[in-house]
Amino acid sequence: MRGIVAFYVTYLLCLILGIVCVVLVAHWNYSYRGGFAWDGSAKHFNWHPVFMVTGMVVLYGNAAVVYRIPLTWGHNKLPWKLLHAGLLLLSLILSVLGLCAVFDFHNKSHTPNLYSLHSWVGICTTALFTAQWVMGFTSFLLPCTPMAARALIKPAHVWMGGIILVLSIVSCISGINEKLFFALKANTNGTLPYSALPPEAITANSLGVIIVAFGLVVLKILSNQIWQRPEPGYDEGVYRPLAYDGS
């Protein structure tokens, strides 16, 4: 009982941190970066951090912990598989839109694409995420996939899921820092330099810290074996894998 209470406290913290991430990234780009548009301007670029943080971090992290919710343990797993896959698909769609926003802005302003470390890590993360989603869909949602193949793929699928979350956080942190270095320069549009830590820098730095905290909470949920969904054969706290349910 204590473990379940601890889970829900941790899960509530995960939800709160995720909401704060979305609010902060939207506030930063609306209040300090001029708002949003889809016209190739700097406002067009502002969709990029919003979509990437919301999709690749917050939605992705929440999709990863769906199976850990104790209320789902006594029910058919298929609806939760569909929810897991659906959240990840929405995360992938937002990520693609985020990439479109930055590429459109760069092309419109004649700025080179994919030259920074942030962009390299980000594009590789998105590519890995796409491959992971396709592999997960074909392996765990198509009924024609053999159970033996699912059992073989599952450990790699789980491991890669955690790696992609870590890479997403690295991409977001490096992107926030890169944007602040570009945007906050002395005598540029009347802004204070980043080193002076103006309000925008405090907001964006806080966003980065909250993103890291969110990721740590998600990884804590995923790594705690007590909170893993019991497989068939689970009885009185002892895990006995008598059969595999195809997750």
- pLDDT value of position 229: 83
pLDDT band at residue 76 under the 50/70/90 scheme: confident
Residue 247 lies in a domain: no
Q: Which of 134, 141, 165 is nearest to 64 (CA)?
A: 165
Q: What is the b/e burial string over 119-149, where b = at least 16 CB atoms within 10 angstroms of the residue's CB?
A: bebbeebbeebeebbeebeebbeeeeeeeee
Task: Please report, for the domain that includes residue 207, its CATH number.
Answer: 1.20.120.1770
Of 16-30, 67-81, 179-193, 203-217, the poorest mean pLDDT is in: 179-193
List, for residues 166-201, the tens digit of each pLDDT value.
Answer: 999 999 999 999 999 999 987 666 778 999 999 999
Residue 245 lies in a domain: no
- pLDDT value of position 234: 41
Higher pLDDT, 236 or 146: 146
- pLDDT value of position 247: 44
Residue 236 lies in a domain: no
Strand partners, 238: 235
Residue 237 lies in a domain: no
- pLDDT value of position 189: 66
Whether 117 has a pLDDT exceeding 90, the answer reads yes
Residue 234 lies in a domain: no
Q: CB under 8 Å to 2, separation ≥6 — which residues?
A: none
pLDDT band at residue 58 under the 50/70/90 scheme: very high
- 40 and 104 in contact (C-beta within 8 Å)? yes
Residue 55 lies in a domain: yes
Higher pLDDT, 231 or 135: 135
Residue 240 lies in a domain: no
Long-range Cβ contact pairs of 87-90 (< 8 A, separation 24 or more): 87/59, 87/60, 87/62, 87/63, 88/59, 88/60, 88/63, 88/133, 88/136, 89/133, 90/55, 90/59
- pLDDT value of position 77: 86
- 47 and 79 in contact (C-beta within 8 Å)? no
Whether 244 has a pLDDT exceeding 60, the answer reads no
Of 13-22, 66-75, 136-145, the poorest mean pLDDT is in: 66-75
Containing structural domain, residue 81: 2-227
Distances (CA, A) of 195 to 29, 85, 166, 179: 20, 42, 27, 14
- pLDDT value of position 239: 34
Q: How many domains does the chain have?
A: 1
Residue 29 lies in a domain: yes
- pLDDT value of position 187: 67
How far, in Å, CA of 109 to CA of 125, rounded? 25
List, for residues 227-240, the tens digit of each pLDDT value.
Answer: 988 765 443 343 33
- pLDDT value of position 1: 66
